[in-house]
Structure 1
Amino acid sequence: MTVAAEKSTRTVAPFRGDQVGSFLRPRALKDARQAFVSGSISSEELRKAEDEEINRLVDKQVEVGLKAVTDGEFRRSWWHLDFLEGLTGIEGYVPEHGYFFEGVETEKYDVRNTGKIAFNPNHPFFKDFVYLKESVGDRALPKATIPSPNQLLHQGIRDETIYPTVEAFCKDIQQAYRETIQEFYRLGCRYLQIDDCFWGVLCYDKVVEDISEEELTNLKELSAKNVQGILKDKPADLVITTHICRGNYASTFAGSGAYEPVAKELFGQTDYDGYFLEYDTERSGGFEPLRFYKGQGQIVLGLITSKTGELEAKEDIKARIQEAAKYVPLEQLCLSTQCGFASTEEGNHLTEEEQWNKVKLVLEVAQEVWGN
Structure 2
Amino acid sequence: MFHKFHMSESESISPGLRVAARGACSNLAGRYEATETRYEPDGWAQETTEQPLRTHVSDEVARRIITYNRSPDLPFDRSINPYRGCEHGCIYCFARPTHAWLGLSPGLDFETRLIARPNAAALLDAELRNPRYAPRPIAIGTNTDPYQPIEQNREITRACLEVLRRFRHPVAIVTKGTLIERDLDILSDMAAQGLVRVGVSVTSLDADLARKLEPRAPSPKRRLATIRALSGAGVPVRIMTSPVIPGLTDHEIETLLAAGREAGADAASWIMLRLPLEVAPLFQDWLTAHYPDRVNRVMNRVREMHGGKVYEADWGRRMRGSGVYARLIARRFEAAATRLGLNGPQPGLRTDLFDRPFQRGDQMSLFG
- Asked if these proteins are the same fold (TM beyond 0.5), I'd say no
Give the structure with the larger helix fraction: 1
* TM-score, length of structure 2 as denominator length: 0.43
Q: Which has the larger radius of gyration?
A: 2
Give TM-score, length-normalised by structure 1.
0.43
Asked which structure has the greater RCO (Cα within 8 Å, sep 6+), the reply is 1
